[in-house]
Amino acid sequence: MPNRYAVILAAGQGTRMKSKLYKVLHPVCGKPMVEHVVDHVEKLNVQEMVTIIGHGAEMVKAQLGGRSHYALQEQQLGTAHAVMQAASMLEGKEGVTIVVCGDTPLIKAETMESLFKHHEELAAKATILTARIDDPTGYGRIIRNEKGLVEKIVEHKDATEDERKVNEINTGTYCFDNAALFEALKNVSNDNVQGEYYLPDVIEILKNQGEIVTAFQTETIEETLGVNDRVALSEAERIMRTRLNEMHMRNGVTIIDPANTYIGTDVEIGQDTIIYPGTILTGKTFIGAECQIGPNTEIDTCEIGDETVIRQSAAFKSAIGSHVNIGPFAHIRPDSNINDDVKIGNFVEIKKAVFGKGSKASHLSYIGDAEVGSDVNIGCGSITVNYDGKNKYLTKIEDGVFIGCNSNLVAPVTIGKGAYVAAGSTITKDVPGEALSIARAKQVNKENYVAKLNLKK
């Protein structure tokens, strides 16, 4: 196999997006477009990957980190000019270079691999990944001669009326003989409607030199979408969403309404888990087997065990065990660690709290900055008073504690193992294990007092 290199074009501003955010950083299913491209290219065993950056260079670099080398294109003079910026790293090297646009996040690694194979089998100097699509508006058109061989690519804006009728388009992905590419780039001019140096012009240059130039036409046209505006962005989102949902369903996950279920690229889900409509799963989220998630549930970057039920709730950056029952209407905030067999009921907010095995907060509670042991029962309306307006303090509730309804636990405070807190208490001092603590005004009943108030008419 010849050496392989990759160039990813990601320097453009993306004017048509009408956005402060640089185009290639717009997310599709939760991940920036250019990162999808890098994910795919990484599967191709390339020796070197160079990403061309310009607009938002620092942000693109921060996003991709050490996964790619970078070449700066200070002025965006066109896609040929962009590739040329990689010359100091790649020029003259022997091998095949794949060029991919940072705004085509749907082209799969398998398709790129087929493009490489086609290119290598035909010993071509250039191979274009093309597709036939219903509406080719805006794309470069593949112009073939009477023998059906590729002659050149004409940009939409430069095309004649007849050329615009061609519905075979340039996907913006190519394989080139590396040395031939950098030689040909020197001959590209900007004599066209946009005054840009077009990478597709390399095709005609090589063809005129008598080199072998071919096209590999992909059948999976939904991969080829180039995202230039927000309409295409939503289309890419829909295509990728469908792809991801189908992957999960084939893996044994039931998705009741795929059109209304949003699963990010880095989410893993175990068999026989059921996802109900309106569920949004993002970040590095792992969900075990036989869970029930949703409806209308948002989970970001959580690790969840097996047979857990989460209904109409939101959970962020937390660990949740097996056989846990959450919701409806619970909010699990970051850094929570909820162990097996826990129940978190309606209108309960948990923040940065550990919940031991089998513990329960079934209704209307706020538990923040807390360590809750196992088999604890937190009564309805109970609150950890963790904040004095300046600092946050820890509440410790040891194993087997029973917190009566509507209690305030003013932190820092510890409720010892097996203790009881009477309903309505405001606890400000530690409670020893096995103690009953009552911290509320004693009830006074004043007999026949109502008449004395003289309020009745």
The single residue listed with the structure tokens 């989102």 is 237
Interface segment toward Ca ion; rule CB under 5 A; list 3-11, 155-163, 224-232, 236-244: 224-232
Q: For the CB of residue 226, give the shortest distance to Ca ion in the complex, in Å.
A: 4
Give me the amino acid identity at 109.
A
Just list the catalytic residues. Answer: 363
Smaller CB separation from ligand UD1, 181 or 376: 181
Classify the C-alpha dihedral 399-405-411-412 as positive or negative.
negative
Cβ closest to ligand UD1, residue 78 vs residue 400: 78
CA atoms of 181 and 132, how far apart (whole Å): 25
Q: Residue 12, interface with ligand UD1 (CB under 6 A)?
A: yes
Q: Strand 268-269 vs strand 126-132: parallel, antiparallel, or unpaired?
A: unpaired
Q: Which x/- pattern over 90-129 shows residues binding Ca ion (rule: CB under 5 A)?
A: -------------x--------------------------
CA distance 32 to 17: 14
Write the DSSP string, 247-272. HHHHTT-EES-GGGEEE-TT-EE-TT
The residue whose two tokens read 């490489």 is 116
**Does 404 participate in binding ligand UD1 (rule CB under 6 A)?**
no
Stretches 107-115, 163-171, 263-271, 386-394: which one binds ligand UD1 (CB under 6 A)? 163-171
- 73 is a contact residue toward ligand UD1 (CB under 6 A): yes
Would you say the C-alpha torsion 198, 202, 203, 205 has a positive or negative sign? positive
Nearest to 312 by CA among 353, 344, 359: 344
Is 400 a residue that touches Ca ion (CB under 5 A)? no
Question: Given the complex with ligand UD1, which of 171 and 261 has the nearer CB atom?
Answer: 171
Q: Which does 153 bind (CB under 5 to 8 A by kind): ligand UD1, Ca ion, none?
A: ligand UD1
- Residue 416 as a binder of Ca ion (CB under 5 A): the answer is no
Residue type, 77: L
String of DSSP letters for 148-169: S-EEEEE-GGG--HHHHT--EE
List the x/- string, 96-135, binding to ligand UD1 by CB under 6 A.
-----xxxx-------------------------------
Q: Which residues bind ligand UD1 (CB under 6 A)?
A: 9-12, 24, 52, 73, 76-79, 81-82, 101-104, 139-140, 153, 155, 169-172, 198-200, 226, 228
